[in-house]
Structure 1
């Protein structure tokens, strides 16, 4: 899919000292909290991530490659002594480089190298989605099971005629009755606008060429047929990864809600009676 892209990023993830025993899990949890929401810093929505925590050795090797001299002042030596968090990673003992921040809550920053899968739809792109609801005035679809799309009547080709039959009706092409768009159909559409404030809500169009029901296009549109054959395996892998991260994101939210509900609440009535 055209809107999907992979990006490499160097990030500093701030972790609470209470999670110092399992830094890797704490870092993954922090990044997972950003899943499926638009982030300006990434210029898109984070769908999946793979993280490597950078050790002192990684950072020193990088400096050596760049030709920089490694200089240790007294403060750096003190920081290194204060933050010796050793952990076995792939059979090796690695020192995580982290600095304690001054303030009321002493979070420490962990440098990481992340591979990010981002969804960044832009106007003039061609995307695919599944029709969830439709009527005479509009078609509403969903992309990657997460992002909503609205295609209004003025953006639907005139050759499509709406017939109110079956499960909620359907759009049937006047030129080819086999070209049908109904609830559950996979469609290919043109992106007109993207509203990032509504978590990448997309306004689409079915007027440009190479748009419509994907099943029909795969048979009657040679350009599209060759395109999907070359990218089918990759899209399946991406869908599986997105679905897996969506499940983890739901589990994270459920875990947080359980923790909140488990907190004790004082009864106002009881406190009055005790007085």
Structure 2
């Protein structure tokens, strides 16, 4: 899935003087407070981190309120969705006008009717709402389905995504993956038929304006007969 990235960062975290003796705990607590929140500094949502403290000795930073600065290297896992990126999420609610999705278990996304391609038709079957493809009856989106969609926009404050199912490579991931296999098998069978047709064309000859079939054994015997006659 797009939107996930691992970044290496050189950081200096401020630690209050009262906590300078336990800088490691203070650093982890500070980073943990930024989890699952959008950070302008990192340009994404912090999902996880791995920290290596470069300098154990905190240095005083001259600011209005004195604090100690600790240098560290961190490897950060960030979620940074951008327009036109492909995301995946699980459907949690369906209405005739919208599809509601949860991405990575914490970010919400909605796809409204104008962003759902006309191929999909809302239906109620056995008391359950579904979006079913009119072109492919097995392509169904229902509550619990994991779908692939494109990002239209992102509200960073509330981590809300507006998505789109307009492209043909979006929809139920289960169906899309199986459909790729079906297309591949169809292509191979088509190539096989073309190869067989080519062989049939080579195994036909024209005699007196009429097309007659000539098997490979007959061709081989004819060649041997000509060689004996020439010798």
TM over 0.5: yes
Q: Which has the larger radius of gyration?
A: 2
Residue aligning to 2:151: 191
Residue aligning to 2:114: 154
Deviation at 1:28, TM superposition (A): 0.8
Residue aligning to 1:25: 25
Q: Helix, strand or coil: the match of 2:147?
A: strand
Residue aligning to 2:9: 9
Residue aligning to 2:191: none
In structure 2, distance between residues paired with 1:220 and 1:7:
35
Deviation at 1:141, TM superposition (A): 0.1
The match for 2:57 among 78, 89, 97 is: 97
The match for 2:167 among 189, 208, 218 is: 208
Deviation at 1:168, TM superposition (A): 4.5
Deviation at 1:175, TM superposition (A): 1.7
Answering whether residue 63 of structure 2 is matched by residue 35 of structure 1, we say: no
In structure 1, distance between residues paired with 2:181 and 2:68:
55
**Higher-helix-fraction structure:** 1
Deviation at 1:54, TM superposition (A): 0.5
CA contact (8 A) 2:91 2:146 kept: yes
CA contact (8 A) 1:133 1:183 kept: yes
In structure 2, distance between residues paired with 1:184 and 1:167:
15
User: Which structure has more RCO (C-alpha within 8 Å, separation ≥ 6)?
Assistant: 1
Answering whether residue 163 of structure 2 is matched by residue 220 of structure 1, we say: no
Q: Give TM-score, length-normalised by structure 2.
A: 0.74
Deviation at 1:190, TM superposition (A): 1.1
Deviation at 1:112, TM superposition (A): 0.7
Structure 1 residues 166 and 16, CA gap change in structure 2 (3 angstroms)? farther
Answering whether residue 105 of structure 2 is matched by residue 134 of structure 1, we say: no
CA contact (8 A) 1:133 1:140 kept: yes
In structure 2, distance between residues paired with 1:147 and 1:139:
14
Answering whether residue 73 of structure 2 is matched by residue 113 of structure 1, we say: yes
In structure 2, distance between residues paired with 1:190 and 1:222:
22
Deviation at 1:126, TM superposition (A): 0.9
Answering whether residue 123 of structure 2 is matched by residue 163 of structure 1, we say: yes
In structure 1, distance between residues paired with 2:162 and 2:71:
38
In structure 1, distance between residues paired with 2:127 and 2:6:
38
CA contact (8 A) 2:20 2:58 kept: no
Aligned length: 183
The correspondence of residues 250-269 of structure 1 with structure 2, limited to 5 A, is: none
CA RMSD of superposed structures (Å)? 2.0
In structure 2, distance between residues paired with 1:20 and 1:166:
63
In structure 2, list runs of 5 or more residues that go unmatched.
185-231
In structure 1, distance between residues paired with 2:112 and 2:128:
16
**Higher-strand-fraction structure:** 2
Answering whether residue 126 of structure 2 is matched by residue 175 of structure 1, we say: no
In structure 2, distance between residues paired with 1:116 and 1:20:
24
